[in-house]
Amino acid sequence: MDRNQAIGLVLISAMMLVYFTWLAPEPTTPEQLPTNDTTEVAISQEVPPDDSASYVSTQIADSVTNQLNTQKFGMFAMAATGVEEKTTLENENIKVDISSKGASITNVVLKDFKTYDFSPLVLLDENSSQTSLIVKHAGREINLSDLYYSMSKNNTNDTTYLTYRAVIGSGQEVKQIYSFPKTGYQIGYKVQLVGLGGLVDSDQMQFVWNNKLKRLESDISTSRTKTSITYYLSEEDFDDIGLNSEEYDEEEINSSLNWAAMKQKFFISGIIAKKAFSKGKFTLNVNISDTTVVKTANIALSIPVDHLKGNGGEFNYYFGPNNYEILKKVAPGFSENLDLGWPPVNLVNKYVTIKLFHFFEKYIDNYGIIILILVLVIKLVLSPLSYKSYVSMAKTKVLKPELDKLKEKYGDDAQKIQSEQMTLYRQVGVNPISGCIPMVLQMPILFALFYFFPNSIELRQQSFLWAHDLSTYDSVLSLPFVIPFYGDHVSLFTLLMTASTILYTWSNNQVSSVQGPMKSITYMMPIMFLFFLNSFSAGLTFYYFVANIVTFGQQAVIRRFVDEDKIKAILDENRKNNVNKKKSKFQQRIDDAMKASKESQKKKKKK
pLDDT tens across 36-91, in order? 443 333 333 444 455 555 555 555 555 656 667 676 778 888 888 899 999 999 99
- The whole-number pLDDT of residue 13 equals 57
- The whole-number pLDDT of residue 240 equals 95
Report pLDDT digits (tens) over 424-467. 777 777 776 666 666 777 788 888 989 999 999 999 999 999 99
Across residues 114-139, what is the average pLDDT? 94
Residue 32 has pLDDT above 50, yes or no: no
- The whole-number pLDDT of residue 47 equals 44
∠ CA 89-91-93, nearest 5°, is: 120
Report pLDDT digits (tens) over 207-253. 999 999 999 999 999 999 999 999 999 998 999 999 988 899 999 99
| Contact status, residue 238 vs residue 336, Cβ threshold 8 Å | yes
pTM: 0.79
What is the torsional sign of CA 395, 401, 402, 407? positive
Average the pLDDT over each of 28-37, 104-113, 293-302, 347-356 and give the range with the smallest value: 28-37
Could you tell me which residue, 587 or 287, shows the higher pLDDT? 287
Look at domain 86-338 and name its CATH class. Answer: mainly beta
Residue 145 has pLDDT above 80, yes or no: yes
Report pLDDT digits (tens) over 341-350. 888 889 999 9
- The whole-number pLDDT of residue 46 equals 43
Rounded to whole angstroms, the Cα distance separating 410 from 418 reads 10
Report pLDDT digits (tens) over 579-596. 666 666 656 666 666 666
Rounded to whole angstroms, the Cα distance separating 92 from 182 reads 7
Rounded to whole angstroms, the Cα distance separating 160 from 180 reads 5
- The whole-number pLDDT of residue 21 equals 53
Average pLDDT, the chain: 83
- The whole-number pLDDT of residue 66 equals 65
Residue 229 backbone dihedrals phi, psi, to 5 degrees: -100, 125
Could you tell me which residue, 12 or 317, shows the higher pLDDT? 317
How big is the chain, counted in residues?
607
Confidence grade of residue 468 (pLDDT, cut at 50, 70, 90): very high
Could you tell me which residue, 124 or 415, shows the higher pLDDT? 124
- The whole-number pLDDT of residue 600 equals 67
- The whole-number pLDDT of residue 30 equals 39
Rounded to whole angstroms, the Cα distance separating 562 from 574 reads 18
Confidence grade of residue 12 (pLDDT, cut at 50, 70, 90): low
Residue 100 has pLDDT above 70, yes or no: yes
Confidence grade of residue 513 (pLDDT, cut at 50, 70, 90): low
Residue 602 has pLDDT above 70, yes or no: no
Confidence grade of residue 551 (pLDDT, cut at 50, 70, 90): confident
- The whole-number pLDDT of residue 606 equals 61
Listed by start position, the domains of the chain span 3-23+31-79, 86-338, 359-577
- The whole-number pLDDT of residue 28 equals 42
Average the pLDDT over each of 4-13, 118-127, 481-490, 521-530 and give the range with the smallest value: 4-13
| Contact status, residue 491 vs residue 538, Cβ threshold 8 Å | yes
Rounded to whole angstroms, the Cα distance separating 271 from 304 reads 16
Q: Which residues of 117-137 are buried (b: 16+ CB within 10 A; e: fewer)?
A: eeeebebbeeebbbbbbbbbb
| Contact status, residue 199 vs residue 76, Cβ threshold 8 Å | yes
- The whole-number pLDDT of residue 38 equals 36
Report pLDDT digits (tens) over 517-538. 566 677 788 888 899 899 999 9
∠ CA 42-45-51, nearest 5°, is: 145
Cβ partners under 8 Å of residue 206, min gap 6 = 132, 133, 134, 135, 300, 301, 302, 303
Amino acid at 60: I
The residues that bridge with 142 in the sheet, in sequence order, are 135
Residue 370 has pLDDT above 90, yes or no: yes
Amino acid at 573: E
